[in-house]
Structure 1
Amino acid sequence: MSSKPETGSTINNPVIPGFHPDPSICRAGADYYVACSSFEYFPGVPIFHSRDLAHWTQIGNALDRPSQLSLPPDAPSSGGIYAPTLRYRDGRFWLIVTNVSGDGNLLFTATDPAGPWSEPIRLPGVQGIDPDLAWDDDGNCWCTTAGVGQIRIDPHTGETFGAQRRIWSGTPGAKAPEAPHLYRIGDYWYLLIAEGGTERCHGVSIARGRTPTGPFEPCPANPILTHRGTDLPIQNTGHADLVQAPDGSWWMVLLGVRPHGGSPGWHVLGRETFLVPVDWVDGWPVVGELSSVMPAPSWPLQPHAVVPGRDDFDMSELAPYWISLRHRPPEDCTTKERPGWLTLHARGESLDDTDVTFVGRRQQHLSCRVRAVVDVTEGRGGLAVRLDEQHHYDIEASADEVQVRARIGPLNAVVASRPAPPGPVVLRIEVAAVQTVNDARTGPDTVSIGIEEPDGTFVELTSLDGRYLSTEVGGGFTGRVIGMFASAGSAHFDWFEYEPLDR
């Protein structure tokens, strides 16, 4: 990674673009850390670091060992790891998550948020998803979950005390009270929740009480943040967490989406992490305007690390932004078999299979170009734009043929093909966001797929409508991931390049 000086006076939202939902934030001294949901992907729970709240660098994944993250090969897409809470207390970082496809609620600790993180402490007595951790002045640890239920726990052993009890139901008539976070601020305990569902009606509400167990008085201005019923470019705003800066100012991280195209609007990158300032008026938080460009905080913005667009696979271990489906057995994914190459050995036969060998990175820009060199003299493999097993576009090479396949729900077809050129082949995918909506049915982007000639000329085999790889079509909680796969034998990749093309 390289450092890039920051000269502007604004923050660009989202601060963590791409499929990085359910952000939870904590501060340790001058350092901020964020954890996000990872669902069916391994390693799980990406961890980000920042010194200025504006620029974030991924420093690792909390769950990077099979003993920490156990997902069965048939775990459904949008299953797996939900909604972490990340906290810092007594020189230690605490992370609590739900594995909805296996072990339920789990707690991990670390002295360094970059890892390693501990083995899981299981919490069989904690029911519900979206668990939160908060400590009172007596050292009692309270775990609050979606619903909104609460129980006291021993975070060192996982033991629970008493029965789990409902402490607030959110706004009457608003569905899905979830993502609770409990804070002691001044004379009150504040209970922040998301409600309305994680779609267009998503919002953030808050209540306060004199004790961590309530009773809780709802804020008269609830929801304190929502974009429901608006035509603002950022939608589905919710699942928030609060943090106080060293200068006393308050900030909120939250998820949102950026729909594009005509009606109803399609978002393809998943739910992303946004930042917004918070003021306090009469004992209640007042959330500032959330937009794609915001005034910078009062402190100087820091030089920030830029994730390299190209990986030549010269390192013995993959960078933390690379993710795979459900697990990543080292015998099926290695840079050590052929030095300077990533070797993938096939398990499943295609991206339709839950156990396919796949290594990808989140699409983080509305327009981008992805290129990779693949040697398939020992099998078949290629590049894919993936939403889930039923929604993906692939370009696959074998020794004889290059073909493009589109999977859209029950439809599964080869949409283009051509003879394979000799030797390793450069595969290329270009995603172009729409700039003008001439028809209400205009999709969000186009996905052009083909190969490169030795002189760099792009030979486009097909161009496909991107709406079919969107959450509005495919459903679920994730976003696009673009990466490499093996479908038979072995596929060797010399390099992979991701280039943003956003205007």
Structure 2
Amino acid sequence: MRFLRSTLTALLAAAATTLAQNSTQNSTFLNPVLPGWHSDPSCIHLNGTFFCVTSTFISFPGLPVYASKDLVDYKLISHAWNRESQLPGYSYATKGQQEGMYAATIRYHEGVFYVICEYLGSGQLAGTLFKTTDPFDEKAWSDPVLFPAGKIDPDLFWDDDGTVYVATQGIILQTMNIDTGEMGPIVELWNGTGGVWPEGPHIFKKDGYYWLMIAEGGTSWDHAVTMARAKNITGPYEPSPHNPHLTNRGTQEYFQTVGHADLFQDAAGQWWTVALATRVGPFGSSYPMGRETVLAPVTWNKGEWPVFEPVRGNMSGWPLPPRSRDIPGDGPWNSDPDEYDFPEGSSIPSNLVYWRVPRDGAVEVTAEGLQVALGRNNVPGSPGGSDPAAKAISFIGRRQTDSTFDFSVDLSFTPNAAGQEAGITTFLTQAANIQLGVILSGEQLSLRFNATEAQNKTTPLPAEWSGEPIRLQITMPSPTKYTFSASLASDESTKIEVGSASTVQLSGGSGSFVGTLVGVYATCNGAGSGLDCPEDTPNAYFNRWRYTGISQYISQTESVPTADFNTV
């Protein structure tokens, strides 16, 4: 009995030691790791740096590439699609608000980075394969190798014999010549477990198996990650008995729509997954940031099916790499605030994006600040026209990356005719946006507020504001409400609160695949002809652009100050 007691004591002590060691080794972090609209993530690891790409649809520049040393801090280092000459005419030919660059995959092979994607809506060859040997240099991304792609979400996989395969929605497989775009015959692999829209495939080779991971169930509340494996890449594929491997469907979790995942290893050989998720709660209606990127640890023992940790706001898992921001390039970190004053000769910050490729001269940095030329189209895209470029709007913005935030910008603008307008907007699509603009109403400068709750509400500005820079501001007192206000740039005590709007109108609907952008616009509301406003139309000038995150919600009832989110 004494022997048993001492043995039990030793076992308990050993177990306690193991638990203590594991607790000190485990890391904790908060989701989402890439907050704001970052859907359909794909990541790789190379020599201590993680590289990720996400979807962008018709926003431009497209396919942002982020780099991270620690899986927590992500720096925007380039865009694979960054110039009109790479895909001439594609952007203006695209009509739908959720067409354009769908889900991409990033991979590395023999010194070259590859981003493969499908561009929908151009009426031309849809498959695009971008290449570079230096992802930190935006100009180094190649013109794409174009290939016929009848399905979305292409994956890129090199087999041991050097054969390159592309798997796409369906789930189908083809060989590919990555220099010419020539595709081999279609092989049907696996149609999932019965969920709608089997898509987003990724293939991995490990322990003598080809492992196929897909998304199915649609990209909303039934979204899930399922897996199958085979001894040969063309199959037959054996479904996992543990499907779905990752989902939050049917739960009360704050993070919903979890799916469209990728797998990668860190320098220690531990496995991780990135996936998209929406901070909305079960069947909620307010989620303006749309689909964001989340991270979770994965246990993948030899020959066994991988085990994914469920996605939550507060995560624990493998030890994270040491925190580091030692990454080349001058792009911003996704979690950092914007402080842009647009000095003459500076570049437009790389985290600011357009809705389609902008017209030449639409947005420029000048001696007077960020110059935005008024366009004939208003923010919804009216009046449009038959010319392909008539789809463009004079808009530039950044992702809303926080549950609550403060955004302000100083506007210098002297309209000389009715219809001329410049201002700020929270923008999901051209069919879903909220605007606060400066207009000329008769002889009076006024503010025009346009939201579901207040259609074209006009507020006269004090006479002493005429000719002075005006500070326009958007604040979020809660994750469900935007408040728009204006003041003299030189005196914030003059602030006028113009109106408030629910975030529900920027959640789903015409933009279920995308997320809210916060930015500025300028329009002559259809005056002029062709593509141009009248010749005497003034430009709008924006200065002192500021975006500061206030809080990040990690559950329906818990929030963390942005300044403390994933801090050391």
Calculate the TM-score normalised by the size of structure 1.
Answer: 0.91
Counterpart of 1:298 (choices 319, 323, 340) is 319
| Aligned residues of 1:393 and 1:404 also touching (Cα < 8 A) | no
Aligned to 2:13: none
Q: C-alpha separation between the residues in 2 aligned to 1:406 and 1:470?
A: 17
- Cα deviation, residue 424, structure 1: 1.4
**Change beyond 3 A, Cα 1:165–1:407:** farther
- Which amino acid is the alignment partner of residue 435 of structure 2? D
- Cα deviation, residue 433, structure 1: 2.2
Q: C-alpha separation between the residues in 1 aligned to 2:283 and 2:201?
A: 32
Aligned to 1:120: 144
- The alignment status of 1:341 with 2:369, answered yes or no, reads yes
Aligned to 1:165: 187
- The alignment status of 1:192 with 2:229, answered yes or no, reads no
- The alignment status of 1:95 with 2:115, answered yes or no, reads yes
Within a 5 Å distance, the mapping from 1:54-203 to structure 2 comes to: 54-69=72-87, 70-72=90-92, 75-102=95-122, 103-114=125-136, 115=138, 116-124=140-148, 126-161=149-184, 163-172=185-194, 174-203=195-224
- Cα deviation, residue 402, structure 1: 3.2
- Cα deviation, residue 283, structure 1: 1.4
- The alignment status of 1:404 with 2:456, answered yes or no, reads no
Aligned to 1:227: 248
Aligned to 2:502: 465
Q: C-alpha separation between the residues in 2 aligned to 1:87 and 1:137?
A: 15
**Change beyond 3 A, Cα 1:33–1:204:** same
Aligned to 1:440: none
Aligned to 2:265: 244
- Cα deviation, residue 263, structure 1: 5.9
| Residue deviations 1:49-87 (CA, integer Å, cap 9, x gap) | 001112211112111100224311652211111000100
- The alignment status of 1:40 with 2:55, answered yes or no, reads no
Q: C-alpha separation between the residues in 2 aligned to 1:403 and 1:390?
A: 21
- Cα deviation, residue 334, structure 1: 0.5
- Which amino acid is the alignment partner of residue 119 of structure 1? D
- Which amino acid is the alignment partner of residue 543 of structure 2? D
Partner SS for 1:75: coil
Q: Which deviates the most, 136-145 or 321-330?
A: 321-330
Aligned to 1:414: 456
Partner SS for 2:85: coil
- Which amino acid is the alignment partner of residue 94 of structure 1? Y
Within a 5 Å distance, the mapping from 1:269-280 to structure 2 comes to: 269-280=289-300
- Which amino acid is the alignment partner of residue 447 of structure 1? Y
Partner SS for 1:284: coil
Structure in which a larger fraction of residues adopt strand: 1
| Aligned residues of 2:69 and 2:324 also touching (Cα < 8 A) | no
Q: C-alpha separation between the residues in 1 aligned to 2:27 and 2:299?
A: 20
Q: C-alpha separation between the residues in 2 aligned to 1:325 and 1:39?
A: 9
Q: C-alpha separation between the residues in 2 aligned to 1:296 and 1:500?
A: 27
- Cα deviation, residue 289, structure 1: 2.8
Question: Which structure's CA Rg is the greater one?
Answer: 2
- The alignment status of 1:31 with 2:35, answered yes or no, reads no
| Aligned residues of 1:312 and 1:340 also touching (Cα < 8 A) | no
Structure 2: which 5+ runs fail to align?
1-25, 326-332, 382-390, 525-536, 552-560, 562-568
| Residue deviations 1:361-404 (CA, integer Å, cap 9, x gap) | 01011111110011112553110011111211111113643323
Calculate the TM-score normalised by the size of structure 2.
Answer: 0.81
- Cα deviation, residue 406, structure 1: 2.5
Aligned to 2:432: 391
Structure in which a larger fraction of residues adopt helix: 2
- Cα deviation, residue 9, structure 1: 5.0
- Cα deviation, residue 461, structure 1: 0.9
Aligned to 2:341: 312
| Residue deviations 1:20-64 (CA, integer Å, cap 9, x gap) | 100011112111100000011010011100011122111121111
Aligned-residue Cα RMSD (Å) equals: 2.0
Q: C-alpha separation between the residues in 2 aligned to 1:392 and 1:283?
A: 48
